[in-house]
Structure formats: structure tokens, C-alpha cells
Amino acid sequence: MTANRVKVGIVGLGRWAKVLARAARQSQALEIVSGFSRTEDKRTAFQQEFGIAGVPDLAQMLANPAIKGVILTVPNEQHLPIAREVAKAGKHVYTEKPIAHTLEEGLEIEALEKTYGVTVTVGHSARLMAGIRMIRDAADAGELGRVAFMEANFSNERALELTPKAWRWYKDRAPGGPLSQLAIHQFDVLHYLGGEIVEASSMASKLSPVGAEVDDQSMTLLRFADGKIGYVGACWTSPGIFAVRVFGSKGLMHYEIDFGTWDTPDKLHHTSTLYIQRGKDGYGKREEIKVPESDMFRAELDMFAESCRNGRANELSARSGNIAIAVVYAALRSIEQKGQAVRIADVIADAHRKIAERGRHVA
């Protein structure tokens, strides 16, 4: 380990904080040195497991001049108020996806960058998977020809396990169910692979027998600025899957991971699938491509560390995070409008208007 790793704090010490703390152990760029939770038992348990000292209040963490940034792994509705406190203290912000509970709050988090001279990193880590990067490299090199169509799916069995005690049960906390909780990952991935998304149309259904408020099936069509189209499916009543397929005039590429290894991304390469199918070749002539070892969580933390060092936004920016959540809200509006296409720019403009009406300003 290098002696000059960027020192950061972490707020919210639940399951995902543990995932990121394990990733940070492997980082040469970043070190988590302080943890805060309102619950003393969580602080104690976290310190015992990871050797990361707990602090009794956020102010103590923010007063530490050695800490350059703070990781937020708190519920979505807490992202904005805590990010604001972190930014006011001159610390850089890392927040798990989605960037915020609503698009308006996401835009306010983005505005913290200019107001306080800090950066915001959003944990849309899926685009950092080695297989996704290899598809982008192949497309950029012209190996696939003109890319015209993309499809992605992220599904799991979550809706079959919901109870009224779970926050995902409720429409106001998990709008669209898998649309806001799973599909948002793929919206960011397709944004990375395909460029600007200009509109979305969507449909949803509720088929889980448990009776939760949220929809549990979602399918969203996307139109990109250059004319390509794509779709993202998200089902909450099936075995877990994460798959992306990109179609071009010269070839198509397919990438799929074993969803069971999501929390241990350094092991993804052992069971993931990546292949290219060229020209008029059939499925039988597809070329299997070896996926190298990678760790999307360590990679995003390293990006955050670099932003803490140089004060510049990285590709996991607040702007990109807000595009992903804007697509979610466009899809939700489309569902209300029986599948009518909704422009992403209109959704963002409406969010800015709502903020202005509340007497707030977002640059």
C-alpha cells in the first residue's frame, strides 16, 4: 500500500458500506479512516471488522483536515442533506446510486460542485466492468461497424421477498420498483456505450403475489441522439441476471455476469461471458473473449480519490448520475401516459422549474 493514499470518511455503515470498505482495502489510491453512523453498535461493529475508527457525530468527521472526501452509503432521501454538509466543509462527495431520491435533489447535489468548489462522484459502477469497457473499446475501434441497437436486462427476485417493513415496498421510496432500483444501472451503461439519450417510453406491470405498492416488471425503450435505439428490461420476480448486448453492422457483442458475484466484482471474470459474433456468421461461430480480472468498486473509489486530489470531476460525475435518474423519471412519466415517448430534456427542464418555484437556484 502506498503511504500517500487519499484519506476519506464514510457515512452509513450498513451492508454496502462493508462492500466498499472491502474494496478500499485493495486500493492503492484511497483509505477509509473514519466512519459515522447514528447507531453506536454499528460504529463499534464496523470498527471491529475493518479497523476503521468510528466518530459519534458527522461534525467531528468533517472537522478533520486530513479527510479530503466523504463516501455516502445512506438511504436515498438522506443524500442531499448530508452531501450539502460535506460540501460546505470543503470535502469532496461520493454518493451511491442513484445520486438522490429525486431528480430535483440530484440537480441540487450537482450544484454543490460550483457553490462549494468540490466534486461529486456517483457510484454507477456497472459501466466499469471489464466486459462493458471491452464492448466500448470494440465499438470505438469500428469493430462492430455502425451500432444501431442495444439491449440490456437487470433482474432479480426482490419483489418476491418484500414485506411492508421494507422501504422498497412503497411507491414513494422505490418509484417504479425495479425501474428505479435496477434499470437505472443499465440506463447509465447504455448512456456510456451509446451516447446521449433523448427520449424514453416505458410500460410496467405488477405481478408479484406479495402485494407491494410498487410495480415489479418494467420495459423501457430508448432513443439516442444519433438515431440508434435500445431497450432496458427489469424484472423483480425472476432469478438474477445482468446482461448487455450491442448490435452493429459488422458484428454484435454480448456480455453477461453471474449475478451472484455482484458484491465480489474481483471474481466476476471467473464466470462472466463475453462474445462477439461477426458479419453473417451464426451463433455457432461466435468468438468467446476472455474477460480480464477487474473490480468495479475499487475502480470507482480510485476515481473518487483522483477527484479528491485534483479537484476535477471524473466520468462518474453528478451530471451523468442525473442523466440516469432523469431517464427513470421520463420512463415513469411515460408509464402514466400509456407509453407515450417523453423527452429527457423536458424532464430535466421541469425539475429545474420545480426547484426555481421553491425559491432555490441550480446553476
User: pLDDT, tens digit, for every residue of 43-98?
Assistant: 999 999 999 999 999 999 999 999 999 999 998 899 999 999 999 999 999 999 99
Confidence of residue 2 (pLDDT cuts 50, 70, 90): low
CATH number of 6-125+298-315: 3.40.50.720
Cis peptide before 164 (omega within 30 of 0): no
Say what the pLDDT of residue 3 is: 67
Q: How does the average pLDDT of the chain come out, rounded?
A: 95
Q: What nine digits make up the cell of 265?
A: 466484482
The rounded distance, in Å, linking the Cα atoms of 358 and 352 is 10
Domain with CATH 3.40.50.720 in the chain: 6-125+298-315
Q: Which carries the bigger pLDDT value, residue 312 or residue 270?
A: 312
Confidence of residue 214 (pLDDT cuts 50, 70, 90): very high
Say what the pLDDT of residue 163 is: 95
With contact defined as beta carbons under 8 Å apart, do 297 and 125 qualify? yes
CATH number of 130-293: 3.30.360.10
Say what the pLDDT of residue 360 is: 52
The rounded distance, in Å, linking the Cα atoms of 178 and 199 is 19
What value does the mean pLDDT take over residues 101-119? 97
Residue 57 CB coordination number (10 Å): 10
3-state secondary structure 166-191: CHHHCCCCCCCCHHHHHHHHHHHHHH
> Does the predicted TM-score (pTM) go above 0.75?
yes
Residue 72 CB coordination number (10 Å): 23
- The predicted-structure confidence for 116-171, as pLDDT tens digits, reads as follows 999 999 999 999 999 999 999 999 999 999 999 999 999 999 999 999 999 899 99
Domain with CATH 3.30.360.10 in the chain: 130-293
Long-range contacts from 146-149, C-beta under 8 angstroms, 24+ separation: 146/248, 146/249, 147/193, 147/194, 147/228, 147/246, 147/247, 147/248, 148/227, 148/228, 148/229, 148/247, 148/248, 148/249, 149/228, 149/229, 149/230, 149/246, 149/247
Is the per-residue pLDDT at 1 higher than 50?
Answer: no
What value does the mean pLDDT take over residues 90-116? 96
